[in-house]
Amino acid sequence: MTLDLSAFPADFLWGAATSSYQIEGAVDEDGRTPSIWDTFAATPGRVDKGDTGAVAVDHYHRYAEDIELMSDLGLNAYRFSVAWPRVQPDGIGTGNAPGIAFYDRLVDGLLAKGITPWTTLYHWDLPEVLEQAGGWPVRDTAERFADYTAIIAEALGDRVKHWITLNEPWCAAFLGYASGIHAPGRTDPADAVAASHHLMLGHGLAVQRLREIVPDAEVGCTVNLYPVTPLDDSGRHDDAVRRIDGLMNRWFLDPLLKGSYPKDVLHDMSAVTDAAFILEGDTGVIAQPLDFLGVNYYTRHVVGAGLWPGSADVRFHLNNGLETTDTGWDIDPQGLVDILSQVQRDYPAIPVYLTENGAAFDDVAVDGVVHDDNRIEFLESHLASLATLRQHGVDIRGYFAWSLLDNYEWSEGYAKRFGIVHVDYETQKRTPKDSAHWYADVIKRHRTATLGT
């Protein structure tokens, strides 16, 4: 495949993304207190091989080296998240100066290399002290999130102008509080729905604080979207499609972009909750005007109705005859076209950034080289989908590869490698993979074609 770069404008953002718990390490340095992921990872049986993020890839100490890597690749944007318990260790009160100073150094280092910082406020590392007070199912956590937002906005807002409030609230709510496979590991469906609402409420309150403190900020929210299609065209799976699309996509997109929750999804959830936690005025707070929508895309959901007639069960089919990544997810670049076309069709016009897209493969460094043609094919095919979407009028303004570095992959520990830069976890040696060199060439060719530099 030869990627046609003419569809991407001169000011298109070429970036890479990471998150704090997955890369920083230094979990007990400079005043940082435990997050829910520290507690979860320390619980036997929760994470593959008992891996934790205590060291991760030591970005806290090696950030300058990592910025040099970004500069060598030609990135013009870097999306990182702030560790809430590093900035506000008690989940309440004033900021922690040594923790904030780390992000000062990081931002200054990025800007010195001409790399635009994109800051995510919440990528799942809730202070453990707030989880002990009830966590996201409790309304007060949304207020605490707004206060934390104000602290970091005051600290960085003179230099950081691009802000993402939440990363994938679906995962934080439903994997953390319903299935229990992510921190904090709870399994209460009603709590999960309440958590999803309070995450969204926290988003709205955070947007208000950002607008007050950084008037020239561009603010958005990142959601993980999946096109949902039926197992076959018999029609008997259509309600399963509606329900999963409702829970995965519309439950978050509707309040963000339309100012209301979808009534059919509220009805679907009525068996587990009366949604009394949604108070008058909440949806107005959530529906703050946004400058962009962040979208994370990895694969498609193919769903079928339950095994028995009339069954409410839904079956997910993750392997549908396509090639798969090391996580077992279908490689489906057409799904990116489908889901962003759905957003364009069903919601008011809004600029979109693909804030995560990538794949895990079983990469091995041999004599200082990592060949990952499969990842190159993945990235190229998805960028081709973005080119197609732009040609059809979808306002896509940037792409962030997931991930810059191999890192801690949540409940799978260090077993899955998503990075375009290989990390030897024993020595912390960074080795750009073939995909990193390919991505650098894409950026250079685009820059040459559009800017002549």
Would you name the residues annotated as active-site residues? 168, 356
Residue 396 Cα distances to 8, 89, 231, 393, 445, angstroms: 9, 37, 30, 9, 19
d(CA 313, CA 348): 33
Residue closest to 176 by CA, chosen among 158, 156, 162, 196: 196
Burial of residue 197 (CB within 10 Å: 0-12, 13-18, 19+) is buried
Strand partners, 303: 230, 316
- CA 328 to CA 318: how far, in whole Å? 7
One-letter amino acid at 414 equals Y
Helix ranges (H only) for 183-331 are: 189-213, 238-245, 251-257, 263-269, 282-286
What is the b/e burial string over 265-302, where b = at least 16 CB atoms within 10 angstroms of the residue's CB? bbebbeeebeeebbeeebbebbbbebebbbbbbbbbbb
Q: Are 30 and 95 in contact (CB under 8 A)?
A: no
Q: Among candidates 154, 105, 256, which has minimal Cα distance to 146?
A: 154
* Burial of 428 from C-beta contacts in 10 A (0-12 / 13-18 / 19+): middle
E strand or H helix that includes residue 121? strand 116-122
Structure tokens at 287: 């529906």
Contact 425, 413 (CB under 8 A): no
Q: Mutual orientation of helices 59-73 and 97-112 as an angle, nearest 10°?
A: 20
CA distance 398 to 373: 23
Q: 402 forms bridges with which residues in the sheet? A: 17
Using only C-alpha atoms, the chain has a radius of gyration, in whole angstroms, of 21
- Token pair for residue 261? 């929750």
- Whether residue 10 contacts residue 395, with contact meaning beta carbons closer than 8 Å, is answered with no
